[in-house]
């Protein structure tokens, strides 16, 4: 019986992989990977057969139950099987279904964390998501729900959070902006859209919550996250505004 490694490939750039992930990829016999994984990351798995199993939202991808079954079958034939996922495997990656299937089948597994898109985007912006005095509450949300899934109140989390990072939301820009404004989020809330963070095709678009639909038209179809909150105002601040923020922080 082999072991299955659920490995985070990071947000894009292949050198944002952990040393542990790289070492496991070197030993891998079989790698089941997402379509967002960088070719140079895949190349580290020099000995492995590589199998693409999805997933870009809205496009054809392998059914989750089929992936689960393939992982179990692979571990019965191979010593080192890798399930390589974009970003961190435990965030918006359907890892739990795979973990449950492996547990049920009695297959040994290990999870290797990765750099998630939210922090990669923060790095591109030069913005702390938890800037002292402005943000102590960060929410990672997605408005996307799978077919037949219970609707989640993602907007309530965004309203409550000091900083929100919205995954898989660029295609829903209009809905996101309308819903949040209707529920009381100020139109002028500072916002950034970061597409293809850490990759050569990276784009950063800044504006306010009201601008989101227009900004989304400026993206090129790469993966993108929306960041929302006062920390973004501070980062793009002109000197005068920066001084005001410093003054607020001093009072706090």
Pick out residues in 65-84 that bind ligand SAH (CB under 6 A). Answer: none
How, if at all, do strands 163-166 and 224-229 pair? antiparallel
Of positions 164, 194, 216, 228, contacts ligand SAH by CB under 6 A:
194
Interface characters, 18-37, with ligand SAH (x: CB under 6 A): ------------------x-
Q: Does 190 bind ligand SAH (CB under 6 A)?
A: no
Instruction: Output the 3-class SS for 155-219.
Output: HHHHHHCCEEEECCCHHHHHHHHHHHHHCCCCCCCEEEEEECCCCCCCEEEEEEHHHHHHHHHCC
Please confirm, yes or no, whether 55 is among the known catalytic residues.
Answer: yes
Q: How far is the CB of 106 from ligand SAH (least distance, A)?
A: 26
CB within 8 A of 64, min separation 6: which ones?
94, 97
Which parts of 116-155 interact with ligand SAH (CB under 6 A)? 116-117, 120-121
Contact call for residue 88 and ligand SAH (CB under 6 A): yes
Closer CB to ligand SAH, 35 or 65, in the complex: 35
As a whole number of angstroms, the distance between CA 120 and CA 234 comes to: 18
167 contacts ligand SAH (rule: CB under 6 A): yes
| Selected range binding ligand SAH among 76-84, 184-192, 219-227, 228-236, rule: CB under 6 A | 219-227
Residue closer to ligand SAH (CB basis): 58 or 239: 58
Count the residues of the shown chain that bind ligand SAH, applying the rule CB under 6 A.
Answer: 26
Name the catalytic one among 3, 26, 34, 250: 34
Q: Answer yes or no: 50 catalytic.
A: no
Q: Which is nearer to ligand SAH, 84 or 245 (CB)?
A: 84
The CB-of-120 to ligand SAH minimum distance in angstroms stands at: 6
Residue 118 CB, shortest distance to ligand SAH, in Å, is 7
CA separation for the pair 45, 14 (Å, rounded): 12
Question: So which residues are the catalytic ones?
Answer: 34, 55
The footprint of ligand SAH (CB under 6 A) covers 11-12, 36, 57, 85-88, 91-93, 116-117, 120-121, 167-168, 194-199, 223-225
């Amino acid at each position: 019986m082999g072991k299955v490694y659920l490995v985070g490939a990071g947000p894009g750039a292949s050198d944002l992989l952990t040393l542990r992930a790289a070492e496991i990829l070197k030993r891998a016999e079989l790698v089941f990977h997402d379509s967002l994984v960088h070719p140079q990351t895949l190349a580290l798995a020099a000995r492995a057969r590589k199998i693409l199993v999805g997933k870009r939202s809205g496009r054809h991808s392998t059914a989750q139950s089929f992936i689960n079954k393939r992982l179990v079958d692979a571990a019965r034939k191979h010593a080192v099987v890798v399930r390589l996922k974009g970003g961190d495997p435990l965030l918006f990656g359907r890892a739990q279904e795979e973990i449950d299937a492996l547990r049920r089948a009695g297959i040994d597994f290990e999870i290797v964390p990765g750099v998630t898109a939210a922090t990669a985007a923060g790095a591109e912006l030069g913005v702390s998501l938890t800037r002292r005095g402005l943000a102590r509450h960060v929410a990672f949300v997605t408005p996307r729900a799978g077919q037949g899934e219970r609707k989640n109140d993602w907007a309530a989390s965004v309203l409550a959070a000091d900083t929100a990072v919205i995954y898989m939301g660029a295609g829903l820009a209009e809905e996101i902006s309308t819903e949040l404004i209707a529920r009381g989020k100020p139109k002028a809330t500072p916002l950034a859209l970061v597409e293809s963070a850490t990759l050569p095709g990276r784009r950063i678009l800044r504006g306010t919550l009201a601008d989101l639909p227009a900004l989304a038209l400026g993206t090129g179809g790469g993966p993108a996250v929306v960041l929302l909150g006062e920390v973004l105002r501070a980062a793009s601040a002109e000197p005068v505004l920066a001084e005001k923020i410093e003054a607020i922080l001093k009072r706090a």
